[in-house]
Every structure is written in C-alpha cells, then in structure tokens.
Copies of this chain bind each other. A is one copy, B any other.
C-alpha cells in the first residue's frame, strides 16, 4: 500500500496544502487560500489545519512535510520568526502539527524546500549538487549538496541575495551596498526606475506610457515590457540586475562548484536578453575550469510543495531504517 503524504506551504501571503500518494507525480487534492492582511500566526495555523483536515477526510497521513517562509531550526522543527506575519516567534510547528494530525513532521524554510523540490522532481533531477535561486520580491537561494539541503552552521546558508557584487552600489535594507538583491530583485528594480523617471524627465518615455504616468504601478514585469518595446532606461536597469545576479552565481560556482543552477521566481520571466546576460556574466566570472549551467526552474509557485513532499518521503526513509 502506498504512503499518503501531506505537503504544506506557509507562504508570506498564501497558504497551500496538498495530498499525494507516494510515487505519484500529480496531486490527489490541493487547496490554496490567501491570508487576509493583518492575519497572524494563529489564524494561519488554524486555517492550515482546516485545509489539511479537509484534504485528509479522517485518514491519517504517513508523513508531513512543511515549507515555511522564514527562518526555521530544522533539527527541532521550530519556526524562528516570520518577516511577513506577526506572532511566529519560536513556534514549535513540527510538534504542533504532529500532535494535531498524528504523523511525523519535517519543517524547513522555503528556499531549502524549494531547492529540494526542484532537485527531486523538477529541473534538478539527476543532479546531486545544485544551487536553487529565486528572483522575485527578494533574491533567495538554497543548496543541495550530496542530494540533501545544505543548511549551514546556523541554518543561514544560501543567502546569495545578500552577497555583495558592487561595493559602490546602492544601499540595501540588509545594510550592505550593491548586494544581489538590491540590484536584481523586482521591487528594488522598480524603485530605481521610479527614481530615474523623477530625476531625468527626458528619459523613459515608453515606461511612462506603459504605467500611464503612475510611477507606483511600475513592476519588474512592466520594466520587461518597456525594455522589449525599446525603452533604454528600463533596459539599463534590467541589464544591471542580470549582471549582478550573474556575478553572484559565478561567485557561488567558484566557491562551491555545483553541477547545476536552477533559477525561479517572477523576475526570470524578463526575457531572452535577461537570461543571456545572467548566463554570460556567470560564465565570465567563473573560472574556465568551472562549468556553470543555469536552467529555469520547472515549478513556479509549487516548488515548496514538491519539496515538502521530498521532506515527508525522507521522514519515511528514516523510520524504515
């Protein structure tokens, strides 16, 4: 009889739960809901348990994997905090769900879990050593080394977004200048475009038209559209982001020499020129002997759910030993 696996994803604004029979490649059932603004930990936990119970219909899962959008102590299954949702400080999430649902639980942060999802079921299949990078509202990363997440001494590994690639660059909230996230993430690129439009009234005509003069409406997506339509200002900001990301990836390749780099997140939809620049820059920064292959993620928002399946599978392996 195949095992029943429950995969849960606590995103910043979205809760997802899915049920899978081990060995299957599509969900038996999946539910998603958005946390209303101002919802806190208790709301999220309660809603997730309701969704899980709705999926399970009185059956017991054999194992539960959980992806959490914030720092987690993997060993104890404790959430350290959430940067998006109040009240999560030091929550023993693993214990809570084990007691409520009667099955072993593994919890890890979303970057590690998404990396594991891509490695087991997505664009990293067949590779034992890979780096997963998501370029979206932030730039996050997760390592798979020897087929398992590499979490680092304090669970902080994978922070490629805050590696510095231009010490003279603009200041990031992290405190550094010119880190990858400051130059390559969607909101920061949009912010830079807004500033440039204010400062240089003769530039960015296409971008101005696309946002209908509402600078707050500028997003990475709009920048890409403006660039494709021939706006030099939008192109310049996207190019700078692609080069920063490529430098960060080339540096990571020189340091760890993975087999493959998998890129996900909304900004990766920026088009062929963006991809070419990321690859060219990473290849130029990496030593000639260091092979750097960069491929698009297979899963969009579902990578953490698939990684949660892998976490649950690994729990069954541990039990079987």
Contacts and interface: CB of A to CB of B under 8 A. Distances in A.
B291 A153 contact: yes
Interface in A173-191: 174-176
Interface stretch (A26-34, A156-164, A313-321): A156-164
A250 B157 CA distance: 12
Contacts of A175: 284, 288
A129 B155 CA distance: 12
A110 to B, nearest CB: 16
Interface of A: 71, 129, 141, 143, 145, 150-160, 162-168, 174-176, 243, 247, 250-252, 254-259, 284-285, 287-291
A256 B290 contact: no
Nearest to A151: B257
21 contacts: A129-B152, A143-B256, A152-B257, A153-B259, A154-B257, A154-B289, A154-B291, A157-B255, A158-B255, A159-B254, A159-B255, A159-B287, A163-B255, A164-B251, A165-B165, A166-B166, A166-B167, A167-B247, A168-B168, A176-B284, A256-B256
Nearest to A175: B284
Contacts of A243: 167
Given A129-B152, A166-B166, A167-B247, A255 B290 contact: no
A134 to B, nearest CB: 15
